[in-house]
């Protein structure tokens, strides 16, 4: 005969023999006053039960929690993905370098998919393997490596953080105190910033999917801008003019084509854009300014529409000097510069409008045969399979008709 579990108090001994009694025992255990025979041995179980939020995770004793934790960690060791930051965390013996490697991965993975981050992370750690290496880098280098990853302030703040740390103060402190941790959660105080607020109680139908709660997002505001690709002949080929954005705000410190805010009329727009171009490159012929199309790019909180213009300086003396904050680059240098994805889209539109090129906007890529991407190997196999069957079927139909 199976021996019944010991009850907390004499009033629960009869109920403990049934399933209903065990559930009531688990629910009321934290409220019942422990008897003298229980002593301190029952306190760990009470702590576990009080900390449980969902009925799916009501553990009976500390041994069950320990066993569950071991099973979960064992499953993770067998099934986890092979990722570069995990390899560094396992292989790196220097605690400071390990913490730095984890910090970089955590920042890069904010709002960004793992598949996108891997190459950026690998390149970053090869270029700046330590905190000191990052602190000695320039903002231009950081922006250049970060270009295309999005949320560009993350890279700038990583470097700022590296410069605010040097290394003696971190080692002297021993640990970073004051940071809340989920294990230190106090569910009964109502002051935990990691748990669901009282206004959003636990949903039994969701289970663990209650976490994390996705914050409601406002739709991105819409803005418009006019930008111009200014090109001139150079000794090493055509050159294009780029200017640097301010060190704060959207796309801080990155390089872009000269741009102005959108004007209500085409005449005012051209005038404002031409003035902006002349501010960087001197007198320019207004008649050569051409409207090429538009590019729509959505940032985290802004949906920005760029009206794309082009101006090619032909038959003029090349501009050799520009004020600080501007520079001429070749097309090859442009692709490796610290420019945003939006500017790369703008440049593709400009290239698509030039004689002898086969690039441009998505619309021109679809209609232009030479710009179509080569299908992947799997797609080629499928295409060949169906093409052969279609030709065979067509031949059979023609024979039958004859």
- Strands (E) located in 163-279: 221-232, 239-244, 255-256, 259-261
For residue 117, give the nearest of 128, 129, 108 by alpha carbon.
108
Q: Which residues lie closer than 8 Å to 151 by C-beta, 6 or more apart?
A: 110, 111, 112, 300
In this structure, what token pair is assigned to residue 287? 């008649």
For residues 354 and 308, is the Cβ–Cβ distance under 8 A?
Answer: no
Active site residues: 106
User: Which DSSP string corresponds to 259-301?
Assistant: EEE--SSHHHHHHHHHHHHHHHH----GGG-EEEEEEEEE-SS
* Widest CA span in the chain: 103
Q: How far apart are CA 95 and CA 92, in angstroms?
A: 7
How many Cα atoms are found within 13 Å in the side-chain-facing hemisphere of 369? 0
Quote the CA–CA distance of 87 and 83 in Å, as a whole number: 6
* Contact present, 187 and 50 (Cβ < 8 Å): yes
The dihedrals phi and psi of 240, each to the nearest 5 degrees, come to -125, 150
The two structure tokens encoding residue 305: 């529409």
Question: What is the C-alpha to C-alpha distance for residues 99 and 175, in angstroms, rounded to an integer?
Answer: 11
């Amino acid at each position: 005969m199976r021996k019944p579990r010991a009850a907390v108090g004499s009033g629960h001994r009869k109920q403990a023999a049934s399933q209903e009694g065990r559930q009531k025992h688990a629910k009321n255990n934290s409220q019942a006053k422990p008897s003298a025979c229980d002593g301190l041995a029952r306190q760990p179980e009470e702590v576990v039960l009080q900390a449980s939020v969902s009925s799916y995770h009501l553990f009976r004793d500390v041994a069950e929690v320990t066993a569950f934790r071991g099973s979960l960690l064992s499953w993770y060791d067998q099934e986890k993905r092979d990722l570069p930051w995990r390899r560094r965390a396992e292989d790196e013996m220097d605690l400071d370098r390990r913490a730095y490697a984890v910090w970089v991965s955590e920042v890069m993975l904010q709002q960004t998919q793992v598949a996108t981050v891997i190459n950026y992370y690998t390149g970053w750690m090869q270029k700046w393997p330590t905190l000191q290496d990052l602190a000695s880098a320039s903002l231009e280098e950081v922006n250049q490596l970060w270009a295309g990853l999005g949320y560009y302030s993350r890279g700038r703040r990583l470097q700022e953080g590296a410069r605010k740390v040097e290394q003696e103060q971190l080692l002297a402190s021993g640990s970073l105190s004051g940071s809340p941790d989920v294990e230190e959660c106090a569910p009964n105080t109502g002051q935990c910033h990691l748990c669901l607020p009282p206004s959003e109680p636990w949903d039994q139908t969701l289970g663990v999917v209650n976490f994390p709660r996705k914050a409601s997002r406002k739709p991105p505001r819409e803005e418009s801008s006019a930008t111009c690709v200014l090109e001139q002949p150079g000794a090493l080929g055509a050159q294009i003019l780029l200017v640097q954005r301010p060190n704060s705000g959207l796309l801080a410190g990155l390089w872009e084509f000269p741009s102005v805010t959108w004007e209500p009329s085409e005449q005012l727009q051209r005038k404002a854009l031409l003035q902006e171009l002349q501010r960087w490159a001197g007198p320019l012929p207004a008649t050569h300014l051409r409207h090429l199309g538009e590019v729509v790019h959505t940032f985290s909180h802004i949906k920005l529409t760029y009206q794309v213009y082009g101006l090619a300086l032909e038959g003029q003396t090349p501009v050799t000097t520009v004020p600080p904050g501007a520079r001429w680059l070749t097309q090859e240098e442009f692709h490796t510069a610290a420019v945003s994805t939006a500017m790369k889209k703008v440049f593709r539109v400009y290239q698509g409008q030039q004689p002898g090129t086969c690039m441009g906007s998505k619309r021109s890529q679809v209609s232009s045969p030479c710009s179509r991407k080569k299908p992947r190997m799997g797609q080629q196999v499928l295409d060949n399979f169906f093409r052969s069957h279609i030709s065979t079927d067509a031949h059979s139909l023609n024979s039958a008709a004859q």
